[in-house]
Amino acid sequence: MGVAAEAHNVKILGSGTEYIVLGHGFGTDQSVWKHFVPYLVDDYRVVLYDNMGAGTTNPEYFDFERYSTLEGYASDLLAILEELQVESCIFVGHSVSGMVGAIASIARPDLFTKLVMVGASPRYLNDVDYYGGFEQEELNQLFDAMATNYKSWCSGFAPLVVGGDLESVAVQEFSRTLFNMRPDIGLMVSRTIFQSDMRHILNLVSVPCHIIQAEKDMAVPVVISEFLHQNIGAESIVEVIPTEGHLPQLSSPDIVIPVLLEHVHLEIESRRYTCCAGYMWRKQIS
C-alpha cells in the first residue's frame, strides 16, 4: 500500500477483474457498506476506503485548509486510484461522496465507467428556485449545537438522519461512527459539506450517472434526484426507493442492495423505456 492508501485505510476485497470503489458519507466510514460488499466480492475487485476525517483515520493527517472544499476529497480519491493503478472503475458514492465522485470524474473521466450516487446532493441550502432542504439559520443552529456539545448533538442527530428510534441497529451504528470523529473535525467536515454548492459542475460530468434516492430523507429531499437528473451533463437514470432515512444501505439493506446491484450491472443505454410506476426514469442525450 502507498501513502494515500495507508492513510485512508484502503482495503481491497474480491477476485474479479473489474474494480468497484465504494465511498461513504459524512459521519460514517467504510463499514457503512458491510451489507453490500458480500454481494460484490465474487464478481469485482472491491475497493473500500475512509474519507479523511472519519473516526478511523489519523486526525493528525486532517488538513483543515485542504478539506475546506470537496475538491480535497476528490483529490484523495484520485490519489488512491493512482496508487492502486486502477485504470477504470465503477464508483458508488453515498451522500457527499456522490459529489466527490462527480468532481473526480470531471478531472479524470477515463477512470470511471459510471457513477452510482446514493442520497447525493449538489447543494443543501435553499436558494432562489431551488429546494435543497435547509435554510441558513437551520444550519447555523446545527453548527452551534455541534460546537457546544458534540456528543449530545450526535445522540440527537443520528436517529433523525437514519430515520429510526435510538434502539435500532442502524441508529446505533451511525451513532458509533459519529462519536468516533474528533469534534472539531466533525464540525469542519459538516460545514464543508452543508455549505457546498456543486450545481455549477454538474453539466461537466461526462460519465453515466445512476441516481438512487430514498423516498423520505431528511438530509436530501427527493426533488434533488430530479434536479441531478436534469442537470448532469451525461446520461443519467434515477430510481427512488421506498425507504426512509439518509443511510438506507444500513437501515433497509434488503430493499437497497438489490437496487444497487441492478444499477451496478445496468447499462443506461439498454433501458429504452421510462418506468414511472417504479419511480425510475432516464434521460436521453441528443
Q: Could you state, in order of their start, the residue ranges of all structural domains in the chain? A: 3-265
Q: Does residue 167 carry a pLDDT above 90?
A: no
How far apart CA 89 and CA 263 sit, in angstroms, is: 14
- The model's pLDDT over 73-97, given as tens digits with 9 standing for 90+, comes to 999 999 999 999 999 999 999 999 9
Whole-model pTM: value is 0.94
pLDDT over 70, % of the chain: 94
Could you tell me which residues come within 8 angstroms of residue 237 by beta carbon, excluding any fewer than 6 positions away? Answer: 208, 209, 210, 211, 229, 263, 266, 268, 271, 280, 281, 282, 283
How high does pLDDT run on average in the chain?
93
- Of residues 54, 62, 126, the one with CA closest to residue 94: 54
Q: Does residue 53 carry a pLDDT above 60?
A: yes
Question: Could you give the residue numbers annotated as active site?
Answer: 95, 217, 246
Q: Among positive and negative, which fits the CA dihedral 209, 214, 215, 218? A: negative
pLDDT on residue 124: 98
pLDDT on residue 217: 96
pLDDT on residue 267: 86
Fold topology of 3-265: Rossmann fold (3.40.50)
